[in-house]
Amino acid sequence: MLTVRNLRVRYGRSVAALHGLDLDVPDDGVLAVLGSNGAGKSTLLRTLSGTLRMHRGEVVEGEVRYGDRRIDRLDPAAIVGLGIVGVPEGRQIFARMSVDENLRAGGIGARSAAERAEAKQRVHELFPVLAERAGQRAGLLSGGEQQMLAIGRALMSSPRLLLLDEPSLGLAPKIVERIAATIREIHAQGTAVVLVEQNAVMALAVADTAVVLEVGSVALAGSAAELAGSEEVQRLYLGGHAESDADAEREAQQAREQRAGMRGLSRWSG
């Protein structure tokens, strides 16, 4: 279990990004983290994966524990060693390297060669396209394939906890469905997932539990179904861009339907 207690993170001397955030990430399950821009979602993931310092951020108070280990002062490689691996926002694949080399880079943090070979097979089963295009330059893949590569690369060290930062960003709805189904599949194979998303419809369809961040702390928490049903989430994240109340109601209704549809899909493919 990953526990975050009273976490306060600051960038530079004064810009506070998280104010006393508390969070529990169960060892089994998919946790969706929702929230608008600037709510602190990416800062949370950076803290969990140890890359905060690369952004000149700093934990000023509180702590993050994984099991009984305190991890908020560890470097990223040590955190990968504990089994927590992040997929950054915007995919960030190594575009000038081949698809296969990207996966090899992902396997550098693996504990043994056997584990690496097993992980690679698993990744190729999840994403057959990565096997087909093994020798191709990663930068030439489509957006969806790049996202698959980014996830596959992270799976190469057989993580116990996978941190996904906006995997649906900029992808076509069909591909988003595919990614959603894959997240369920990864979870079914025994990896816990933290899913940070702007696409609340997708995230709530995939997740078991969810939290909503607002200006640096948790505003709402509950099961995914509870949150999907809550009026506030409906208004803000499932139909929040509506011009009028009537529009909002209609969009929320659509969202509910879409969510139901996606549940069906994930059951069907899992």
**Binding stretches for other proteins (CB under 8 A):** 49-51, 53-54, 56, 75-77, 80-81, 85-88, 92-97, 101-102, 104-106, 108-109, 139, 153-154, 156-157
Q: How far apart (Å, rounded) are the C-alpha atoms in residues 3 and 79?
A: 14
Considering beta carbons, is residue 76 or 239 the nearer one to other proteins? 76
Q: How far apart (Å, rounded) are the C-alpha atoms in residues 169 and 266?
A: 19
Considering beta carbons, is residue 60 or 77 the nearer one to other proteins? 77
Among 178, 150, 28, CA closest to 89: 150
Least distance in angstroms from the C-beta of 264 to other proteins: 33
Considering beta carbons, is residue 49 or 168 the nearer one to other proteins? 49
Q: How far apart (Å, rounded) are the C-alpha atoms in residues 130 and 148?
A: 8
Considering beta carbons, is residue 12 or 229 the nearer one to other proteins? 12
Least distance in angstroms from the C-beta of 156 to other proteins: 7
Least distance in angstroms from the C-beta of 46 to other proteins: 9
Least distance in angstroms from the C-beta of 193 to other proteins: 15
Considering beta carbons, is residue 136 or 230 the nearer one to other proteins? 136
Q: Which amino acid is at 130?
A: L
Least distance in angstroms from the C-beta of 250 to other proteins: 39
Considering beta carbons, is residue 153 or 184 the nearer one to other proteins? 153
Considering beta carbons, is residue 101 or 226 the nearer one to other proteins? 101
- Report in angstroms the alpha-carbon separations of 149 from 11, 91, 136, 155, 196: 30, 8, 12, 10, 18
Least distance in angstroms from the C-beta of 161 to other proteins: 13
- Report in angstroms the alpha-carbon separations of 94 from 103, 119, 202, 260: 10, 19, 27, 36
Least distance in angstroms from the C-beta of 162 to other proteins: 11
